């Protein structure tokens, strides 16, 4: 059975630079020169870091982080939509 793919996203309008997400999981988040957070790369969460991603979401005092399940690119309905 394939494992689900998840993505994190930081809403830049809500982020206040508390950096709790980065403290919890520096592999998933990046900080700019002002200390504001954003998702690293495409925001993809490796399977082994899903618990840390959930912890980052739970620890954000501004509720600026979302964790969503990305569609499986191999699912028949996604392949059909790409054609």
**pTM beyond 0.85, yes or no:** no
Number of domains in the chain: 1
Domain that holds residue 31: 5-82
Kindly report the CATH number assigned to the domain that includes residue 33: 3.30.70.20
Residue that is written with structure tokens 């020169």 in the block: 33
Tell me, what's the pLDDT at 78? 43
- Tokens read off for 13: 């309008």
pLDDT in tens, 1-45: 567 899 999 999 999 999 999 999 999 999 999 999 999 999 999
């Amino acid at each position: 059975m394939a494992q689900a793919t998840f993505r994190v996203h930081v809403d830049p309008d809500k982020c206040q630079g508390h950096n709790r997400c980065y403290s919890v999981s520096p592999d998933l988040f990046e900080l700019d020169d002002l200390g504001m957070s954003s998702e690293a790369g495409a925001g993809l969460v490796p399977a082994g870091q899903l618990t840390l991603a959930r912890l980052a979401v739970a620890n954000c005092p501004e509720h600026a982080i979302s964790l969503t399940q990305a569609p499986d690119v191999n699912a028949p309905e996604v392949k059909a939509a790409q054609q």
